[in-house]
Amino acid sequence: MLLNVLAVAAVSAAVLYVLYKWLIPAAVQNSGWLALIWHDVIVERVLNILTGLSRPQRMLKAVQKNATKGDPQSVIAAIDYYCRHKEWAMNVGDDKGPILDSVVSEVNPSTALELGTYCGYSTVRIARLLSPGSKLITVEFNPAYAAVARQIIAHAGLQNKVTLVEGGSGDLIPKIKEQFGITSFDFVFLDHWKDRYLPDIKLLEDCGLLKKGSVLLADNVICPGTPEYLEYVRNSPRYKSQYFQSYLEYTKAEDGLEKSVFLG
């Protein structure tokens, strides 16, 4: 009797492991919303309980273990590998990352703003491409995320290129000119709360922080989606917009980046 119970328990555990490790992740690869629910709601909470660490802390450990100090590219590679093979996370990722790189290189900004630091992945991607003397301000609302991001940015050796500010974007934007002496931004990367995209670019406009030729690049415009923002930048005479189709980070579900040039 006991052997039967143990056998059933072993088989059940094996089935659950296969479902958790392979079958469900494969099944949600092509659906953005299913992927978000599975990875962001279920898996993250399970791993938080099992490890006693948050997802950002687990990503930091992966960087500290596998990335070379002072080498931004190895930090990016370590995070991408971890998120592809160990645990999904909502970084811009290795499919959309080269698009971000290309736009940053094209603009070659002397002043850049990132809204939504999270763990610093996209911060590292942007900062490593900046010319000497350029300024990148990145804004993160969550103090725990900011604490991890600072360590990842420092591991990449880019702390002198980056100013990380904790707090809400709506509170910070009106204070930027006074606090940082920046008159306008050449490049703005939006990757924070999706319902803040539109209010924040309007706030940037109102505060005079965009000039003719300023480039906005918005992530996750399809999944989770930013319909009001897209409607605005695609229909406003103040912007010329272009959509770059790609995939939701570390999946095969459609997502993309919207590049919008401010026309004044």
CA distance 115 to 235: 23
Helix (H, G, I), strand (E, B) or coil at 68: coil
Contact assessment for residue 139 and residue 192, using Cβ atoms and an 8 Å cutoff: yes
Inter-CA distances, 225 with 65, 100, 221, 258, Å: 34, 18, 4, 11
- For residues 187-195, average pLDDT: 97
If DSSP states are collapsed to H, E and C, what string results for 103-161? HHHHHCCCEEEEECCCCCHHHHHHHCCCCCCCEEEEEECCHHHHHHHHHHHHHCCCCCC
CA distance 60 to 49: 17
- For residues 46-53, average pLDDT: 94
Contact assessment for residue 165 and residue 150, using Cβ atoms and an 8 Å cutoff: no
Tell me if residue 219 is catalytic: yes
Tell me if residue 255 is catalytic: no
Helix (H, G, I), strand (E, B) or coil at 81: helix
94, 200, 219, 258: the active-site residue = 219
Give the residue ranges of the annotated binding site. 92, 122, 140, 191, 194, 219-220, 249
Can you give the pLDDT at residue 195? 96
Tell me if residue 200 is catalytic: no
Tell me if residue 175 is catalytic: no
93-262 carries CATH number 3.40.50.150: yes
Map out the domains of the chain as residue ranges. Answer: 93-262
Using a pLDDT cut of 70, give the percent of the chain over it.
Answer: 90
| Confidence class for position 220, pLDDT limits 50, 70, 90 | very high
pLDDT in tens, 15-45: 444 445 555 676 668 888 888 998 888 999 9
